[in-house]
Structure 1
């Protein structure tokens, strides 16, 4: 890594620590990584934590085999003592019970799944997050106030789900208060549809956790919030094997809208799903606010969807209509 690149990574890490998380002197910060993390990113985060006057502790576990798989006992115990958690793991730590328990105790967290120095210093990572918040908030408000969501696409998606009791989160890389969690890079209005209500089909044509860029569309058919059939090519078969036998692995655990104007399509779902006007859905564990627990959470991306809430169009063919 050149000196210039190191400076850019350091600036991004400083932004995460000081702006996204507002880390204070004396706080205990856990940086939870795994063997496949980009350790240039990890080192920069630890340096930024130290510069903020906080105490950083590095946790490194073997990479989990599946996105959302629980942390090991050592990491789980360590998270319990953290005021702040930063997670640049290669597969998502964000949906593990251990992280949720830490949040319930008052920790705050930024999740950076699969983020390398390249993602940290370009695209979604260098967005104007005040602008991201401006785009995200009216979408989240509309979903929270709504009773029913419909997602369609020219690729064949047509799914409806209830929003009764649903609170949509504003993902704009800010987690400054106890119990808050966001991602970095960020940019999404995220929600879990009401349990057991997803009905229809969603056709992913972008990328997915652990599958990367999709070579051909994956069609996931839902009945009462459960994936009952998955169709497509080899990657659809991989997805079936990924969730096969996993408790609640077939649950529709998320429907979210991307809101980051700087996000690029890289074949890395962490950044891809932040693109403005995209939709991603998840199989497995529900996002924060949902009720279904599973040891897996797999995101799949729709590139040019249309989203309606109670008949009002929020997104039309991949372009956001609902703005502040």
Structure 2
């Protein structure tokens, strides 16, 4: 029987491009896929661009191994220079924004972008994709205001995380599903505020009980020991995940760098074992290892690996912002 989920894709793509990205007549929309992208999603975005009166192009790039997730073909980077709206829909290349050139274009306000990378059709049409994004974005602005100017963070979790970091002083980044102006960035589905730590400042114990980019949800929480901003020991946990992380740390330059702290805000996100869905879920925390260029760091690793923690308590400069997964800074108890 024919799969009719294209109908859901068309409805969500229309909302995404016409409303959340405010695509205008005459703009150039670049949709980037790889051979495993679900073309129902890509074709729906192309149709939505046409409906907005925009031009579109679909660029297929090779599938990248996870160790080269941020490397784009040179011809794609030339296309990025010319477009107004960038839609990343690759299945293995990692979030498009971690490509250094794309981040430079965002910084210069040459384009606006949405990452739909590493996401399948359920991410595109269900769960977090069905949120009230005006409300999620408003919460993002409130959390950004609380976060702005704070220097020190302390994260603990019931699973055993006890992590300290000094946060860099750039503006906390809102990724909450709205990117209507040049220089804006979002993901789909979306809902987080994030920032990078000062290089070398993160230390303590990180215990990952939620899903990890590429490696899935560990059957036993994975413990990492962090000193001087780098992962210095994979202590234990799910043996398969530990083996993969140890291999990555040994083979991929700067993949041991702690690159990001993010707080999820989307109340519609599902807890389904998918890291892209769960890292945006309201009240979760994710810490990333690898490339921190997006977050004001000089590290330029070819990977960016998000790792989700449940029910965190997060303090900024001694003030509790999140308590056991409740966003107390937004009035939750």
Asked if 1:262 corresponds to 2:268, the answer is yes
Asked if 1:99 corresponds to 2:99, the answer is no
Question: Structure 1 stretches of 5 or more lacking a match?
Answer: none
Secondary structure of the corresponding residue to residue 265 of structure 1 = coil
Secondary structure of the corresponding residue to residue 319 of structure 1 = coil
Sort the Cα spacing of 1:39 and 1:151 in 2 relative to 1 into closer, same or farther, 3 A: same
Count of matched residue positions in the alignment of Structure 1 and Structure 2: 324
Of 206, 209, 213, the residue aligned with 2:217 is: 213
Q: Which residue of 2 aligns with 1:302?
A: 309
Quote how far apart the aligned CAs of 1:247 are.
2.0
Of 252-261 and 238-247, the range deviating more from structure 2: 238-247
**TM-score, normalized by length of structure 2?**
0.92
Sort the Cα spacing of 1:46 and 1:60 in 2 relative to 1 into closer, same or farther, 3 A: same
Q: How does 1:90-129 map to 2 (within 5 A)?
A: 90-91=91-92, 92=94, 93-105=96-108, 106-129=110-133
Asked if 1:192 corresponds to 2:216, the answer is no
Q: Which residue of 2 aligns with 1:15?
A: 15
Of 189, 203, 207, the residue aligned with 1:203 is: 207
- Asked if the contact 2:168/2:296 (under 8 Å) is kept, the reply is no
Quote how far apart the aligned CAs of 1:48 are.
0.5
Task: Supply the distance in 2 between the matched residues of 1:140 and 1:159 (Cα, whole angstroms).
Answer: 21
Sort the Cα spacing of 1:101 and 1:167 in 2 relative to 1 into closer, same or farther, 3 A: closer
Task: Supply the distance in 2 between the matched residues of 1:277 and 1:2 (Cα, whole angstroms).
Answer: 38
Of 150, 155, 158, the residue aligned with 2:162 is: 158
Secondary structure of the corresponding residue to residue 5 of structure 2 = helix
Runs in 1 of length 4+ with deviation above 4 angstroms? Answer: 1-4
Q: How does 1:217-296 map to 2 (within 5 A)?
A: 217-231=221-235, 232=237, 233-286=239-292, 288-291=294-297, 292-296=299-303
Superposition RMSD on alpha carbons, in Å?
1.7
**TM-score, normalized by length of structure 1?**
0.95
- Asked if the contact 1:166/1:193 (under 8 Å) is kept, the reply is no
Sort the Cα spacing of 1:2 and 1:317 in 2 relative to 1 into closer, same or farther, 3 A: farther
Task: Supply the distance in 1 between the matched residues of 2:280 and 2:144 (Cα, whole angstroms).
Answer: 14
